[in-house]
Each structure stands twice: as C-alpha cells, then as structure tokens.
Amino acid sequence: MIWKKFTVETTEECEDLVAEFLNEKGAEGVLVEDKAPLSADDLKAMYVDVPLMPEEDDGKAYVSCFLQPDFNIEALTIDVKAEIERLAEFLPSGTGIVTITDTTDDSTWADAYKEYFKPFRLYDDIVIEPTWEELADKKPDDHVIKIESVMSFGTGTHETTKLCIGQIRKYLKPGDSLFDVGCGSGILAFTAVRLGAGYVHGMDIDPQAIKSSYENAAVNGFDADRIGFTCGNLLDRNYITDAGTGDGGSIRPLSPDDYTKDLVLNRGEDGSEIETVGTPLPQKKYDIVVANILAEVIVHLSAKVRPFMKENGLFITSGISSGKADRVKNALLENGFEIVDVIQMNDWVSIVAK
C-alpha cells in the first residue's frame, strides 16, 4: 500500500498539541521531528554509544502522520490550519504549512535487504547463509547458520558480532548452557548451538527480535529442548517471559507460530502492568552469559547479570567502543567479576569476565 505522509510545520512549543490533535482526527501514529537538544536523562535512556552531532535549534518542529489513500486529507488540512490559527492566540504556533508526500510501497520494503545480504564465511568453519542463497565453497564440516529474517539487528557481518562469536568459540564447552542477552536475530544463539551448547536462551526487549529469532530457529531445524527465546529486559524488573513454548517447553520443532501466543498481563514490582507473551519462565543459571550490545548497557548489566550465572560462569561482552573499554572493565570489577580476556578488532572491544 502507498501511504500518504501528512506533515505539519509548527514549533517546539506546539508540537505535542499538534500531535494530539492529529490523533484526535484519526491518525493512528504520529512522528515528531525537531532540533531540540537532548537532555542528560534522554541520553541515559537511549544508551548512546556514539557521539551525537547536535544541529542548531531553530525552534521549528515537524509533526507527521501516515494516512491511508482513502483518508479525507482535504478536510484534515482545513482542520489543521484552523487549529494552528487557534493555537497562535496562546503560543507561537509556526507557519502551519502542510506537505503531503507518498511513501514507498510497504509490500516490498521488508524484502529489500535480500539484495545486499549475501552468504559469507565468518570463520574457517562458521558460515552465515541467507535461506535464499547458498555459499559456493561450503565444506562438509562447516557450521552453517541459516538466516531467514533480519528484521532485527544481526546478520553477523559487524566486528562486534565476529568478536563475540570468536569468544564463544574459544570458551564454550560441549553441553554448556548459554544466555544471550539482546539476541537480535539470533546469530549468537544459533552459533552456540552449532558449536555444541546444551541449551541456549536468547532474550531481547524488542518483540520483533523474538519473532525474527523464532523464524530463524525454524529454518535451522532447532528443537525447543535446545533453544528458546523470550521477550524481557534485565534492567527493568528482571522480568522474563516464555515467548515460545508457553506449555512448559515440550520437545518439538520450533516454528514462527510459536511466537503467536496469547498476551498475558502481569504486574511488575512497582505495581505497573507489563504486557508480555506467554507464561513466566523460572530463573535459570547459565555457564555463559553473552551480551553484544553497547558499553552503557553492559555497565548496567554488570550489576544485574550475576543471578543468572553459575559459579565460575563467564560473561562474554562485546559492542564496546575502544574509548569505553576501561569504563566497562571498572564496572565489572566493582561488581565482583575477574577480567579473564580482552581482545580488540579495529575500534571495537570484547571483554570476557568470570
């Protein structure tokens, strides 16, 4: 479907009011763009690990919504201009200029990445292979990871992923259990299974990542007794839910349908409602915990992850820019870890702690 992008030029003072007005007029989602500088709290919540280049704040804001072609856009334009004039009696409301553009066809965007994602050899015996194309020089003893969906982070091409897989390969013993915090598309989890892990649990805060991981698990032929994925956040009440089995984890092939379970409404420690999928999982302890995320997240995880680790368990971290490595090391040491290995690839660092 070709959607219409409806954009109103207003001011930072009025952006929230205009967004609410569009919602009242039937827009189901609103996008707000401005150049207002981020606060310290904003930066902390975003876990930014790269420098942001602020633009000069001009006070303007652009509020957009996406409308189906049969929406009465002419009437909405008239209503919006009248609202901008009304707001101008109380606040600077801007020009109220409305622009309407067509979006691209959303029936094809989800497959656009396939043109660029090609099979490749990550290590001598580890191959990442999309389901639509085979690697020409595969060997009989290769560990092949098939990928159907990368609609979340993770094709395995980035240095941070290669570092992490190299450390899993180095430290994983046959039969070890592994917990992948921030699993994305499941690359690390699948590699661990191929390398001999007994059981792997992948978790991500993004439901789309869990859906992608289950789709990828299905094409690799993994069973529920070897691997599972959950939607949760160790930095937010440590809540984990079973997004895949929901029936206690019976042994059977996984499929994308595993994700389509009824939503269960639970309450966090502060009494707030948490909408989750499936049933709560019991907390387990793992031989290895892996986090290929960002330095700021790993700093916080270092104070949260110990209850999920066996005695002498390993915490393999990656996604750390070289300038943040010392900060991560200090956080790990402060939380009772011992640094056992540090490796670097270009500007990225992997730290292994016990």
Nearest to 348 by CA among 170, 122, 156, 159: 159
Phi first, then psi, for residue 200 (nearest 5°) are -130, 130
Neighbours of 24 (CB within 10 A): 10
For the domain spanning 153-353, the CATH number is: 3.40.50.150
CA atoms within a 13 Å half-sphere pointing along the CA-CB vector of 287: 15
Q: What is the pLDDT of residue 283?
A: 60
Nearest to 178 by CA among 77, 305, 34: 305
CA atoms within a 13 Å half-sphere pointing along the CA-CB vector of 219: 20
Q: What is the pLDDT of residue 265?
A: 33
Low-confidence residues in the chain, pLDDT < 70 = 1, 40-55, 104-117, 149-158, 236-283
C-alpha distances (whole Å) from 330 to each of 320, 339, 345 are: 13, 10, 21
Q: What is the pLDDT of residue 123?
A: 76
Q: What is the pLDDT of residue 69?
A: 82
Location of structure tokens 């707030």: 272
Q: What is the pLDDT of residues 319-348, one digit of tens each?
A: 898 999 999 999 999 999 999 999 998 889
What lies within 8 Å, CB to CB, of 177 at 6+ separation is 197, 198, 199, 200, 201, 284, 285, 286, 287, 288
- Alpha carbons 223 and 217: distance in angstroms, whole number: 8
Q: What is the pLDDT of residue 136?
A: 79
CB burial class (10 A; 0-12, 13-18, 19+) of residue 102?
exposed
- SS3 of residue 99 by DSSP: strand
- Alpha carbons 282 and 278: distance in angstroms, whole number: 13
Q: What is the pLDDT of residue 105?
A: 58
Write the single-letter amino acid at 14: C
Question: What ranges do the domains of the chain cover?
Answer: 4-102, 153-353
Q: What is the pLDDT of residue 257?
A: 41
- CATH number belonging to the domain at 4-102, selected among 2.40.50, 1.25.40, 3.30.70, 3.30.1240: 3.30.70
Q: Tell which phi-psi region holds residue 199, choosing left (phi > 0), alpha (psi between -120 and 50) or beta.
A: beta
Q: What is the pLDDT of residue 61?
A: 94
Tokens representing 67? 């409308």
